[in-house]
Chain A
Amino acid sequence: MISALCPTGPDRSGAVSTLFVLLAWFGAASGSSDAAVDPAVLEAESARVAVMDRAKDAVVAVFSSSGQGGGSGVVISPDGFALTNFHVVKPSGYWMRCGMADGRIHDAVLVGLDPTGDVALIQLFGRDVFPAAELGDSDAVRAGDWVFAMGNPFLLATDLAPTVTYGILSGTHRYQYPSGTILEYTDCLQTDAAINPGNSGGPLFDSQGRLIGINGRCSFEKRGRVSVGVGYAISINQIKNFLGDLHGGRIVDHATLGARVAFDAEGRVVVDDVLESSDAYRRGLRYGDEIVAFAGRPIGSPNALKNILGVFPAGWRVPLVYRRDGQRRDFLVRLAAVHGRSELIEKTEGRQTPLPDPDPDPDRRKSDPNEPAPQEKQPTPLLPKGLRERLAGAARPRPPEIVEQHHEARRGYANYFFNRRHQQRLWEAWTDESQLAQAKGLWTIEGRTVGGQPVRFELDDAGVVAQLPGGEVKWTAGDEPAANLDPPQSGGMLLALHLWRRLATEGLDCFGEVYYQGMALRNDWSKRLDVLVGVHAGVECRFYFDPEGHRLVALEMTPDEAADPCEIAFSDFRALGKRILPGRMEVRHADQRFGVFLLDEYTLAPTAP
């Protein structure tokens, strides 16, 4: 759907007052005729009006800084973070202006982008507490449920109050093809509430005013770019999965399984092809295996798998159930990125990227030569005069101070400022509790195996030495850290421990490349963890932090993209002096447990001798 400038003017709530007029009309009708209106009807009506009146406060009219377009959005947290569409902010650069229902206009900065899912996160400035929408559960809604959309369609309103359109859900878990653009709508909601140009990025609410989706796309065809009762919203549950990554200022990528599926002759969904470099292959998935369930949802068609795949960011681990020779097996599969890193950047920045085409078959749309193309022939809509002056800032060549304070450009990021902020948040909370950053000397950790055999680890800048039941193993720092993945079958435990210490002692700036990835699932399907990724000398290490305790609960060290990582899970945290440190360390590699070590005593020297 194309984005169009769509604001509103000085009446405080145009849409809602229209409803009051209707209500009054119903009252008048009942007064002047024999048709008595059941009081329950009026009650239901005023309840609906009240829900909409509350919901409108969080709705945002987004105006591009370039003056080239705009759309809608919705605030989702009191600190001003708001959701909109990627295609709404695309012409804007990194800042925009946003109007709210009470008529105030705020500066806003771009925070994160999900170009494939057509979602953008922005932050509004200028209030202590922003009215925010309550997030709903888009998997709990059904076709036939009442819903309403709010936003900024066309240029109907004369103030900044949102327009409301009302309807039902026409379908759920819909799949809409990318149609030649990067934007793919997976698992989306379909509604007959009017979604028009300018509604893009705005909220779809359930009948209780909970946010269930972000409107972004419509099916149009020969009738021009106006609603024909077929609009699509990105489901809020999908956005929740990406929200952590978006908060991290990243350009988020979607995921692939590394396997292709198709119907077989019996109508089962079977693996048609699987990449040998994929995690699914390493976990044992093979040609001909029947896919039974994915992420807890049954798979009835190849499209269903595509639908579910689309709601997860790359890097997540998701449960997959398959059947082979009548036997059911399940495992967690790590999802890989759909795009190469530079490919994603190009597609995000590329000026040639067309706006999402509303029609799955573009040729068809142009098929009728007699059909006027209303969008092209309509004059560019003008903002109401008063509003145009108030928005004059939109024509300012330079972004306001507050935006500059919250923006840092870096290739591959929507806004690195937010990424840096999250890196620091995690690192500071972790090192504050563990006091590990202060221990720049030798780390000696003594403990035992679960069988009671003693173990001892010595870590310093030069390397790692471990006394294990099988004898001594050593790893020495050098040019090619991944050349030594000792002990055997561990996947590189010593190297992983070295990187753990390195993150603590060297800090974010000296580790190598570090970025905050967002929130992800690892082994526990119900628990989302903060993820910090560090790349040192070509070795990628993912650090997982518990968002509540700020504890480093796991790290995964991947020496080579096509290999399984060495996974170390820390648990049994306890106070050792002023520090809170893990009392248990479990090491796994390629579906096998390498060992469990109970860590009894830490001796952490503050400086090198």
Chain B
Amino acid sequence: MTTIRAQLALRAATLAVALAGGALAASGLAAETPSAATETLARVLPRIVKIHGAGGFRGLEAYQSGMLISADGAILTVWSHVLDTDYLSVTLDDGRRFDARLLGAHPRLEVAVLKIDAEGLPHFDLNDGIEAAPGTRVLALSNLFGVATGNEPVSVQRGVVSVRTSLAARRGVFETPYDGPIHVLDAVTNNPGAAGGAVVTRRGDLVGMIGKELRNANNHTWLNYAVPAEELREPVEAILAGRFAASPEPDREKPVEPATLDGLGLVLVPEVLDRTPPYVDAVRPDSPAARAGLRPDDLVVMVGDRLVSSCQALRDELAHLRREDPVRLSVMRGQEWIEVELKPSP
């Protein structure tokens, strides 16, 4: 069913392009002159950053792209393995390099916000993002393949929004928890390292953020897409407001009798690394976890609105919750996003 939906979407995309053809050419005339894109780029390229973090092995790149969304150094990017480190670095268009910290992330929407300490930076305003109709001519800006280093500008590609559709998030087709709307693009924009880059109109208005590489497991084709700007607004605001934070504030109150893994009936995998991801190893029968339907191999991603990237972070987070209160957990089961509430045993 999902596949058929995706195929229909693609056909709709082709049709939309065909229909938009005439009007598109007429409205795009000014942009046809060689200098139009370069003027836009002079303005927009300085808003794109190069992000370096974890990876560099087993086909996982250690770099991705991001875009500045505030003058004081908030950076929008995709939530990925690259961010799973304490040593994140961000290189601006002018070559300046900063240590960055993860402000927060929304793993289901695959959105993360980083922060560097700087001021007066050129940036996108997410509120100015536009809804791009099929046929809109766009530029994609990203550090694909990590081509650009230091003060070198990131790569630019040109394309057309083929269709706006919903990403059918099903295991076995596209491996992503994101199932919201996307812009399908007609250019090969979603390359290694490109995720987190910006898609803009030829005037420079933000259309969306380049998503992670996705391959259709049925037909092995790769999807080139961007998450629309309007979909990013809410999670980014939430992150900036302190929800989905990556680490608990140190001065937050701790109850005398906090919630514990034991009390919830959760057994995590053995901690072999500092940052062992909080996978469930076992669930005790008749426990709150069992009643909520948790299973071995579930990955705990969030406790309430807080991101927990390791077993230790999960334990720390529970230490701030009262034993008698219910605990909301978000877990990934394969590529499925599941939210459960664990009610304490009476």
Contact = CB atoms under 8 A, between A and B. Distances in A.
Contacts of B155: 170-171, 190, 192, 230
A607 B23 CA distance: 85
Contact of B191 (A30, A45, A221): A221
A265 interface: no
B54 interface: no
B345 interface: no
Interface in B174-225: 187-189, 191-192, 222
Contacts of A167: 157-158
Interface string A147-188: 000000000000000000001111101111000000000000
Interface string A341-379: 000000000000000000010001001100000000000
B95 to A, nearest CB: 6
Interface in A25-39: 25-26, 29-30, 33, 35-38
Contact of A229 (B25, B58, B150, B189): B189
B41 interface: yes
Given A144-B40, A174-B152, A219-B147, A192 B157 contact: yes
A230 B155 CA distance: 9
Contact of A33 (B22, B153, B154, B187): B22
Interface string B139-156: 100001111111111111
Contact of A230 (B21, B58, B61, B147): B147
Interface in A439-492: none
B26 A192 contact: no
A44 B30 CA distance: 11
Contact of A303 (B23, B146, B150, B191): B150
A59 B151 CA distance: 35
A154 B32 CA distance: 29
Interface in B221-246: 222
Give the bracket for the number of chain A residues in contact with chain B: 35 or more
B4 interface: no
Given A144-B156, A167-B158, A168-B158, A301 B151 contact: yes
B188 A143 contact: no
A219 B144 contact: yes
Contact of A174 (B25, B26, B147, B187): B147
Contact of B26 (A36, A227, A230): A36
Contact of B34 (A29, A145, A223): A145
B59 A192 contact: no
Contact of A168 (B29, B59, B145, B157): B157
A329 interface: no
Interface in B16-30: 21-23, 25-26, 29
B51 to A, nearest CB: 18
B300 interface: no
B152 A38 contact: no
A77 interface: no
Interface in B101-132: none
Given A192-B187, A228-B191, A37 B152 contact: no
A75 B35 CA distance: 28
Contacts of B40: 144
Contacts of B41: 142-144
Nearest to B26: A38
A409 interface: no
Contact of A222 (B23, B32, B59, B154): B59
B2 interface: no
A44 B31 CA distance: 11
B152 A228 contact: no
A41 interface: yes
Interface residues of B, number: 39
Contacts, number: 121
B158 A230 contact: no
Contacts of B191: 219, 221, 228-230
A168 B37 contact: yes
B7 interface: no
A386 interface: no
B151 A207 contact: no
A176 B152 CA distance: 13
A25 B156 CA distance: 29
A300 B38 contact: no
B187 A229 contact: yes
Contacts of A281: none
Most buried by A among B154, B155, B191: B155
B188 A227 contact: yes
A145 B152 CA distance: 17
Contacts of B32: 41, 44
A343 to B, nearest CB: 28
Contact of B25 (A41, A143, A169, A175): A41
Given A142-B38, A227-B188, A301-B95, A41 B158 contact: no
A33 B155 CA distance: 37
A265 B34 CA distance: 41
A228 B150 contact: no
A143 B150 contact: no
Given A37-B26, A221-B191, A367 B21 contact: no
A146 interface: yes
A35 B22 contact: yes
A190 B26 contact: no
A35 B21 CA distance: 9
A36 B25 CA distance: 10
Given A29-B22, A229-B157, A171 B147 contact: yes
A40 interface: yes
B57 to A, nearest CB: 8
Contacts of A219: 144-145, 147, 191
Nearest to B187: A229
19 contacts: A26-B22, A38-B25, A41-B25, A41-B26, A41-B32, A168-B37, A168-B157, A170-B157, A171-B154, A171-B156, A173-B152, A174-B147, A192-B158, A192-B188, A229-B144, A301-B151, A303-B149, A367-B58, A367-B59
Given A192-B155, A228-B188, A230-B145, 13 more contacts: A30-B22, A41-B26, A45-B25, A144-B40, A169-B156, A170-B156, A171-B148, A176-B147, A190-B155, A229-B144, A300-B151, A301-B149, A301-B150
Interface of A: 25-26, 29-30, 33, 35-38, 40-41, 44-45, 142-146, 167-171, 173-176, 190, 192, 206-207, 219, 221-223, 227-230, 267, 300-301, 303-304, 360, 364, 367-368
Q: Which 8 A-B pairs have the closest CB atoms?
A: A367-B59, A144-B37, A35-B22, A229-B188, A144-B38, A192-B157, A170-B155, A301-B150
